[in-house]
């Protein structure tokens, strides 16, 4: 009976792990998955895993890529280096198993987990994808992003702006997504409630379940109720940049993507520098919020540094 139960759990776990395989595989031909993996393969797959687990992640360190800027994988390798995921021993062609173990281990360490090796020989492309899929399946359920959904002040069924609050990340930040009526060329209506729009903010790596909902001016005050707080954009998608302060008073135009500086961009990551809202302010705002989080939970969450 124990053997059957263990087998059932293994099959169930692999079923969860398979959810992200298409995204991780990208344009890799199915027939080539049994081929030996190169350093380039490892870099491409690892970058996709990072984008699923940590979208719009700002750089964690200043680092250069060991490739020429003309190389097609230069940007991928540069991003991994800036995220401290590229060992010094990495090479674009050969991929020793020790180098892959280091790359995977560094990503797993962000979440305080370790991955037992599943092979001891130079890996195939399929083996890289399998281990990354298993890591995502293990880590994904532990991630607790909170959706911040703000309705239009004059039309409560329309999303004015929406974002993911990632206090649980290696780089805590607010990930702001272009409003759906522009990005998707159609309106994602709030008519059926906030829970109905959460799948648009979810990925195969983690399902967004917790949310905070409020009219746009109230949602803005969750971060900027204190006049000394400043909004800083620390990363943009599709291109990276040097962090810059949002001009005071223009925060809502950035959150709603109405500011001309965000033309052509789909997502950005932001921080709020300075004193956050006080406990009395949060308590005054609570009755104006709709959320599936408990009062104590939302107070701790909003006031966390």
pTM: 0.87
* Window from 176-185, 253-262, 276-285 with minimum mean pLDDT: 176-185
Q: Answer whether residue 235 shows pLDDT above 60.
A: yes
Q: Is the pLDDT higher at 193 or at 278? A: 193
| Number of Cβ atoms within 10 Å of the Cβ of 6 | 10
Domain count, the chain: 2
What confidence score (pLDDT) does residue 273 get? 87
Among 95, 112, 141, the domain boundary falls at 141
Q: Answer whether residue 35 shows pLDDT above 50.
A: yes
Main-chain phi, psi angles of 94, to 5 degrees: -70, 145
Computed over every residue of the chain, the mean pLDDT equals: 86
Q: Give me the domain span that covers residue 196.
A: 143-303
| Residue-wise pLDDT tens digits, 141-194 | 889 999 999 998 888 888 989 999 998 899 999 999 998 765 445 567 888 889
Question: How far is residue 161's CA from residue 150's CA, in Å, rounded to a whole number?
Answer: 5
Question: How far is residue 100's CA from residue 295's CA, in Å, rounded to a whole number?
Answer: 44
Question: How far is residue 58's CA from residue 211's CA, in Å, rounded to a whole number?
Answer: 24
Residues 38 and 134 in one domain: yes
Nearest alpha carbon to residue 96 among 52, 163, 38, 9: 38
Q: Answer whether residue 219 shows pLDDT above 90.
A: no
Residues 175 and 74 in one domain: no
Residues 76 and 148 in one domain: no
Among 111, 141, 171, the domain boundary falls at 141
């Amino acid at each position: 009976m124990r053997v059957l139960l263990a087998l059932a759990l293994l099959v169930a776990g692999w079923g969860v792990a398979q959810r992200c395989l298409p995204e991780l595989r990208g344009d890799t031909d199915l027939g080539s998955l049994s081929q030996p993996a190169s350093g380039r393969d490892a870099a491409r797959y690892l970058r996709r895993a990072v984008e699923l687990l940590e979208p719009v992640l700002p750089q964690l360190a200043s680092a250069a890529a060991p490739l020429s800027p003309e190389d097609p994988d230069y940007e991928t390798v540069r991003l991994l280096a800036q995220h401290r995921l590229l060992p010094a021993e990495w090479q674009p062609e050969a991929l020793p198993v020790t180098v892959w173990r280091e790359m995977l281990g560094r990503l797993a360490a962000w979440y305080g987990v370790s991955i037992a090796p599943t092979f001891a020989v130079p890996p195939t492309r399929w083996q890289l994808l399998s281990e990354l899929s298993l890591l995502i399946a293990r880590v994904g359920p532990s991630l607790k992003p909170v959706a911040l959904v703000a309705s239009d002040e004059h039309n409560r069924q329309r999303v004015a702006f929406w974002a993911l609050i990632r206090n649980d990340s290696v780089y805590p930040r607010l990930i702001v997504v272009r409003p759906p009526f522009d990005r998707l060329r159609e309106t994602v209506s709030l008519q059926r409630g906030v829970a109905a729009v959460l799948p648009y903010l979810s990925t195969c790596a983690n399902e967004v379940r917790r949310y905070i909902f409020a009219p746009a001016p109230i949602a803005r005050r969750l971060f900027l109720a204190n006049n000394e707080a400043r909004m800083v954009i620390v990363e943009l998608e599709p291109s990276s940049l040097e962090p810059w302060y949002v001009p005071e008073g223009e925060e809502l135009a950035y959150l709603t993507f109405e500011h001309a500086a965000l033309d052509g961009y789909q997502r950005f990551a932001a921080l709020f520098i300075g004193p956050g809202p006080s406990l009395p302010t949060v308590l005054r705002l609570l009755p104006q919020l709709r959320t599936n989080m408990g009062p104590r939970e939302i107070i701790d969450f909003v006031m966390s540094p």
